[in-house]
Amino acid sequence: MLVGIEDQRIDEMYVDLLNRALHEKFTKIPPNERILLLPQCLRGDKCPAEQDQEGFHCKQCGKCKIAEIMKIAKKLKTKVFVLPGGSMVPRLLKKYKPKAVIGVACYRELEQGMGLVEKQGLPTQGVCLLRDGCKNTDVDLLELKELMQNNGH
């Protein structure tokens, strides 16, 4: 058990360090040149979203926070992807060529995903889930909104 706790703390420190190190670069990229990657575990129990090779497509049913996040993203012209896992990330980066990436996930997934994005030379910012697990997770909407809107001004 102690090893698991230490591993999580290491992931938290890595994500925090990367967020700090890349924040200034990230804020120089306008929101319309960023993509937002959300985990499918944010979806509600009876989510009607359909899945294809780019993840789940939110139907804005309002049963979870994804619909609210999508509204914010639409105003900012930020592309949003709701992913079943991190394996889609390289394909999306190649296809859409974003200049920056925001990721929402548990610390373990953020650590892996942010590392992958950063190796591509892209500034990235991660927002950890308030409650993780693989189902009915939660994110701080205010923290995410502030990050999405942050453009260095």
Q: Choose among 20, 31, 42, 10: nearest CA to 125.
A: 20
pTM as predicted: 0.92
Task: Give CA–CA dist 15/140, Å, rounded.
Answer: 16
CATH number of this structure's domain 2-149, picked from the four choices 3.30.70, 3.40.50, 1.25.40, 3.90.1340: 3.40.50
Over the stretch 58-111, which tens digit does the pLDDT of each residue have? 998 888 999 999 999 999 999 999 999 888 999 999 999 999 999 999 888 898
The two three-digit tokens of residue 39, written as one number: 């985990």
- What are the residue ranges spanned by the domains of the chain? 2-149
Q: What is the dihedral of CA 66, 105, 38, 117, to 10 degrees?
A: 160
Q: Are 99 and 33 in contact (CB under 8 A)?
A: yes
Task: Give CA–CA dist 144/128, Å, rounded.
Answer: 10
Over the stretch 115-129, which tens digit does the pLDDT of each residue have? 899 899 999 999 999
